Amino acid sequence: MSDGQINSDVSQEPSAKKVKIGNENGNSVSENQFQLKDFTLDKVLNNNTRGKTVCVLGKFKNKSGQAVIILEKNAFKEDDLNESGFFSDETQLRIYFQNDIYGNFECFPKSSINGVKTTVIYPATEKHIAKFSQQEVHVVVETPELYAACTLPHIEKEQFTLQWVYNILEGKSEQDRIVYDSKCEKEGFVLVPDLKWDGLTKETLYLLAIVRQRGIKSLRDLNASHLPLLKNIRDKGKKAILDKYQVPGSQLRIYLHYQPSFYHLHVHFTYLRHEAPGIYAEKAHLLDTVIDNIEMMPDYYQKASLTFSIREMDNIFNVYETNGCVQRVVSPKAELIDK
């Protein structure tokens, strides 16, 4: 992460109840009822002033266990930039200052277009708390040898449960959210809106293609046998998004994460103008580039060194620190205390 950015890949956090409270009309969108008036704040985990997102830790009254809540200012919808939206009679301006032709104000639009996207993770585990906490970040260059010796054992031991993924694939949950469903067990996938997206605002469009084929953990497992699957995701995913949201493939950023937040192969589709979390060079691999690499060398991702970032509170950081690949940052203040 950069600039204190919160990695809000909440749709990829399976081992807790993921609840999105409120939609653009102020209505509940989940059968799980949480009231924020019942929430007691214990700690601010991360306050990202650039991304207008804050992540907090606390407890709900009469509920055991901790909860992580992510509050995020919604992106502006172009459909609201009219006389019935931001320029309506209900909108008020509070002046900060005015000097000649320049004025600086605080705007108070009507409540129906002034919602805050709210995500609740309950009960939150220590892994969730670490994931959403602000912390130092390091870059690792993972060779195939390091993958086999460090990363793979960690994945097999520490990864989140994938039951939430299987619930979607088996038709047990989130079926009303599915945008496209290819049933083929080898080349099929399910396309669903990512939890970071409200499903309505084109400017922040974000969907996730989850493959039906099991056993493909990440980019590292891909080879020539997976090319039909990858091309199917690319081509049919683009068509489904064009048909439903009228966004052409040329305006989509289609990519895989490495390391991913969960180890069942999935592909991200975001609107090109949207600066979504995880689109940076140390995280995202464009799907077309992945396909091209495999076509040139069938076992490319078994032989390549892959760069990724890790945070000091991630358990995998301890693995790589032990092997001398990274070194924890010690603040000058901490050094003085130690002395």
**Catalytic residue list:** 266
DSSP code per residue over 8-60: --GGG--SSEEEEE--TTS----SS---GGGEEEEEEEEEETTTTEEEEEEEE
Element (DSSP H or E) covering residue 5: none
Alpha helices (H) in the chain, listed in sequence order: 126-131, 144-146, 152-158, 163-169, 227-245, 287-296, 300-303, 315-322, 332-338
Q: Which residue has the tokens 């589709």?
A: 269
Query: Angle between the 287-296 and 227-245 helix axes, to the nearest 10 degrees?
Result: 160
Q: Tell me: cis bond preceding 259? Omega within 30 of 0 counts.
A: yes
The pairing of beta strand 102-108 with beta strand 180-181: unpaired
